[in-house]
Structure 1
Amino acid sequence: MRISTMIFLTDETLGPVQLARELEQRGFAGLYLPEHTHIPVSRKSPYPFGGELPREYGRTLDPFAALGAAAAVTERLILGTGITLVAQHDPIVLAKQVATLDHLSGGRFTLGVGLGWNQEEAAAHGVDWPRRRTAVRDRLAAMRALWAPEPTGYDSEFIHIEPSEAHPKPKGLRVLLGGAAGPKLFADVAGYADGWLPVGQDPAEHLPALRAAWTEAGREGEPQVVPYAIRPNADKVARLRDLGTEEAVFILPPAGADEVLRTLDDYAQYL
């Protein structure tokens, strides 16, 4: 099982260059970064994991810029978003960002996609909250049209793109969808993604439903399941390995170099 990591990189933590180098040298498989453009202070949207919203949510670095820096100093490390708030992006610009980072990293980029939880943040981007699931699906379809080998247009209720030259093209880009298990999410995974990023959920409990949705959609093979933001212990890691998990993403503290490197030293027992 490959062990990757995720972290809220901020202006107060260690930087992406140092972290990426340490991860690759120590044998970790990947680095995933979350995204929040800003956090309105109204706090109308409750923190989904309960309690006070952690400080790092309002201080996150832009994941594409930070992962670009990480790509420049590594050769093997998987670089991913966990997750990109696709509904908050112009799909033409996002398609270019994704393709460029994938190109510069030699095809190492994974696009983690999510619907988001902070309604006030999304509203500032003009997101129609009840229709954000449709917006994400629509934007991903438009982006895939731009990534097509030949100039391909896209028309929907919200987006019109003429057949266009749009290079570079991603190289076998992996798209993983995050969110709470359920029929709607699994239909979306089967409809436009390569797999699922579960957070705080037991993958084993939901695998039958995910596989059923995958088969119903006519997809071949198996959906990838990449358990995300895990706080590991021996029993938890053993269960994931017994499940046949190919990659798991451990959470790192949003801290300075000393604390993060101590955590990596502790996680090394699972490599």
Structure 2
Amino acid sequence: MKFAISYNTAYYGVDPEEVVAFARHAEDCGFEALYLPEHIVLYPGAMFGPYEIPPSLPYVDPLDCLSFVAAATRRILLGTGVLLLPYHHPVILAKRLATIDVLSGGRMRLLTVGLGTLPGEAHAMGVDFTGRGRRADEAIDVLRLLWGGGEEGVSFEGEFFSFDRLVSFPKPSGVTHLPIHVGGSSRAAARRAGRRGDGYFPGGALGPEERAVQLEIARSAAVEAGRDPEALEYTRWGSMDMTAERVEELAAQGVTRVVVNPTAADPEGRREEMSAFAERFALSR
């Protein structure tokens, strides 16, 4: 089992010194990766399920923040949980992600993409909310095409994106394409993960039966697409106080990675939580 940690500036704040201290402590503790979430814009009345999202929450751009973290760390992998893929143009995104990967020494390896749940956010970005799934599918294909293309250029003709003989350098460091994990809490997300993803990272508000169904959907979709279902990584959210028995339960369900969120209100308390978690699971050994 691999263990990663999430830093949410909406709740922890955007103090650059604290961001760096958190990332370095996570690295020293032995966490595999640091994840950041994304919201591009919020607005009064935006809802996440039954909860209204305070519109002033300071969500930073996750890729810019991960670049900042990469410059201050040495080993920890960089992840998003989730990047709202339909709201990014894949030609620009391919360049940004490859740049971060190269400059970080090959650490932009846990990109997780999702569709977003706020209609107003889609509207602000000029994206049809009902078509964002198809747009995300195309974007994944475009990213991989650009990363894998050579000096002769690559072409694409789709519903949302089209281009002829584009060349995109630099390439990701030492790989044909960066891994793309798919996040979401729907069966459509599970199918997308199986058809196109390198991993599946479902949301937290699902019951055990639905989780099992979605994992099977992802694996079946991988088989139908001619892909190896056993190669699909399976990431889940966990808690800072989770026990070894709980980790064993998750492993039995096929989980390969757990991402946790510190809950302390102050920076020192969060670092103490991280240290205790790392000691409990011997992360730095």
The answer to whether the superposition gives a TM-score over 0.5 is yes
Partner of 1:21: 24
Q: Offset at 1:5?
A: 0.6
Question: Do 1:8 and 1:254's aligned partners in 2 also have CA atoms closer than 8 Å?
Answer: no
23-32 vs 214-223, greater mean Cα deviation: 214-223
Query: Relative to 1, partners in 2 of residues 1:54 and 1:149: Cα closer, same or farther, differing over 3 Å?
Result: same
Task: Say what the alpha-carbon RMSD is for the aligned residues.
Answer: 2.2
The correspondence for 1:179, drawn from 177, 184, 189, is: 184
Letter in 1 for 2:13: E
Letter in 2 for 1:163: R
The alignment partner of 2:236 has SS state of coil
204-213 vs 131-140, greater mean Cα deviation: 204-213
The yes-or-no answer on 1:161 pairing with 2:163 is: yes
The yes-or-no answer on 1:142 pairing with 2:159 is: no
Superimposed CA distance per residue, residues 191-243 of structure 1 (whole angstroms, 9 cap, x where no aligned partner): 22111001213444543332222212211251110113645421432312333
Partner of 2:193: 189
Letter in 2 for 1:178: G
Question: Do 2:194 and 2:220's aligned partners in 1 also have CA atoms closer than 8 Å?
Answer: no
Cα distance in 2, alignment partners of residues 187 and 261 from structure 1: 37
Question: Do 1:230 and 1:250's aligned partners in 2 also have CA atoms closer than 8 Å?
Answer: yes
Query: Relative to 1, partners in 2 of residues 1:244 and 1:191: Cα closer, same or farther, differing over 3 Å?
Result: closer
Q: Offset at 1:255?
A: 4.8
Unaligned runs of 5+ residues in structure 1 are none
Cα distance in 2, alignment partners of residues 229 and 86 from structure 1: 24
Question: Do 1:153 and 1:162's aligned partners in 2 also have CA atoms closer than 8 Å?
Answer: yes
Partner of 1:249: 259
Q: Offset at 1:244?
A: 4.7
Query: Relative to 1, partners in 2 of residues 1:138 and 1:30: Cα closer, same or farther, differing over 3 Å?
Result: same
Query: Relative to 1, partners in 2 of residues 1:152 and 1:108: Cα closer, same or farther, differing over 3 Å?
Result: same
Q: Offset at 1:115?
A: 0.6
Greater relative CO, 1 or 2 (CA 8 Å, sep 6+):
1
Q: Offset at 1:54?
A: 5.5
Superimposed CA distance per residue, residues 32-78 of structure 1 (whole angstroms, 9 cap, x where no aligned partner): 0001112011x1x4212x334257x7311111111111111222211
27-36 vs 185-194, greater mean Cα deviation: 185-194
Query: Relative to 1, partners in 2 of residues 1:244 and 1:24: Cα closer, same or farther, differing over 3 Å?
Result: same
Question: Do 2:36 and 2:81's aligned partners in 1 also have CA atoms closer than 8 Å?
Answer: yes
Partner of 2:268: 258
For residues 23-42 of structure 1, what are the structure 2 equivalents within 5 Å? 23-41=26-44
Partner of 1:239: 249
**TM value normalised by structure 2:** 0.85
The alignment partner of 2:79 has SS state of strand
* Count of matched residue positions in the alignment of Structure 1 and Structure 2: 266
The alignment partner of 1:225 has SS state of strand
Unaligned runs of 5+ residues in structure 2 are none
